[in-house]
Amino acid sequence: MAVRIDGKAVSAKVREQVAQEVASLKAQGVCPGLAVIIVGDDPASKIYVNNKKKACQATGIYSEEYALPGDTSQKELLDLVADLNHKEDIHGILVQSPLPKGLDEKAVVEAIDPQKDVDAFHAYNVGKIMIGDYHFLPCTPAGIMELLKAYDIAVEGKQCVVIGRSNIVGKPMAMLLLHQNGTVTVCHSRTKNLAEITRQGDILVSAAGKSHFVTADMVKPGAVVIDVGMNRDENGKLCGDVDFDGVELVASYITPVPGGVGPMTIAMLLKNTVTAAKLQNDLL
Ligand code: NAD
């Protein structure tokens, strides 16, 4: 039976460290500040933004929320980003995804000052991550690396299989595992014989966004299984990509959904905001 990786406990520790760093920065006259922009009224996005706001409050990070109407123009949004780029009390800028149709998300991300890009989605930061010389890491893959570290799971020399190649999860995940000397295979929707490949994974990360997708027969006995998926099952209940009950019997470690990767994402955002504040005040 696999050990359940407790993302709530690990994220609580990260938040504690963040709170201590915020206190120490405040003592030096710097209060880390995060601006979150949300456009339109997507209910899930509203919940995410609210959670981010609460997490900031709990750790002493100053936060501002910009809730813009769904008919906001590209120019209005870019103007706001430009203002925030110049605002001295704001060190991190996050644009909640998805933006309403008609707005060019890529152009908005590229407009963020890379030093304030706490999601690490800007091409400059993506390039820095690629060459292994970075200040920010995208929150979800960074959170997964933190979970592996917390459970003393070494990556070096391991076969690592990542399902999913999105810019926010799959690709940076592969890169971070590579930086830790894993041998990485990235699978995606056009991959042939998926199960054959996933069965080779000592560490298997699934970010396909499909419930009950990873079944026990796809998992190498003793593998570490990280479930990034946040899906709804037939009954509307939150679930991951992994068929938990079956895979738990085969794996050595497994992340549950909820309570695994999810809580780490916000914790790493807070960490990135502190890093951004240090970076902009020459304290790194
Ligand atoms: P995405 O839709 O952009 O990417 C999904 C990836 O899965 C694609 O690269 C696709 O090629 C791959 N895929 C789809 N079907 C496949 C198949 N049959 N075989 C192999 N690969 C397949 O999604 P995303 O933004 O990367 O998110 C993935 C999942 O992770 C979603 O459920 C999302 O909600 C969740 N997520 C969770 C967190 C968190 O904090 N826990 C953060 C971000 C995303």
Residue 57 is predicted with a pLDDT of 97
Whether 182 is in the pocket of ligand 1, judged by its Cβ within 6 Å, is no
**DSSP reduced 3-state for 255:** coil
Has 128 been annotated as catalytic? no
CA of 208 to the centre of ligand 1 (A): 3
Give the dihedral of Cα atoms 216, 218, 224, 228; nearest 10 deg. Answer: -90
- pLDDT at position 277: 98
Cα–Cα dist 244/218, whole Å: 12
Please choose from 42, 51, 52, 163 the residue to mutate so as to test ligand 1's pocket, defined by most ligand atoms within 8 A of CB: 163
Active site residue 20: no
Give the residue, out of 169, 187, 268, 269, with the most ligand 1 atoms within 8 A of its beta carbon, to mutate for a pocket test. 169
Give the integer Cα–Cα distance in Å for 167 and 207.
Answer: 11
166 Cβ below 6 A of ligand 1: yes
Cβ of residue 168 lying under 6 Å from some atom of ligand 1:
yes
Q: Which member of 113, 115, 117, 119 is catalytic?
A: 119
What confidence score (pLDDT) does residue 219 get? 98
Q: What is the pTM of this model?
A: 0.97
Residue 121 has a pLDDT of 97
CB-based contact 183:160 (threshold 8 Å):
yes
Residue 151: HSE in the Cβ half-sphere, 13 Å Cα cutoff: 24
Q: Which residues of 215-228 are buried (b: 16+ CB within 10 A; e: fewer)?
A: eeebbbeebbbbbb
Supply the pLDDT for residue 9: 98
CA dist list (Å): 258 to 52, 148, 228 = 17, 17, 10
User: Does 96 qualify as catalytic in the annotation?
Assistant: yes
Tally the residues of the chain.
284
- pLDDT of amino acid 264: 97
Return the pLDDT at 122. 98
Atom of ligand 1 nearest to the CA of 265: 40
Cα 27 to ligand 1 centroid, rounded to whole Å: 41
Residues 6+ apart with CB under 8 A from 267: 10, 11, 14, 15, 18, 55, 143, 146
Is 51 a pocket residue for ligand 1 (Cβ < 6 Å)?
Answer: no
CA of 280 relative to ligand 1 center, distance in Å: 33
pLDDT of residue 1: 95
The pLDDT tens digits along the chain (284 residues) read: 999 999 999 999 999 999 999 999 999 999 999 999 999 999 999 999 999 999 999 999 999 999 999 999 999 999 999 999 999 999 999 999 999 999 999 999 999 999 999 999 999 999 999 999 999 999 999 999 999 999 999 999 999 999 999 999 999 999 999 999 999 999 999 999 999 999 999 999 999 999 999 999 999 999 999 999 999 988 999 999 999 999 999 999 999 999 999 999 999 999 999 999 999 999 99
Looking at ligand 1, which residue's alpha carbon is closest to its atom 8? 164
- Residue 22 CA to ligand 1 center (angstroms) comes to 33
What is the 8-class DSSP label of residue 160? E
Confirm or reject: Cβ of 139 under 6 Å from ligand 1: no
Cα 209 to Cα 238: distance, rounded to the nearest angstrom:
12
258 lines ligand 1 (CB under 6 A): no
Omega before 43 within 30 of 0, i.e. cis: no
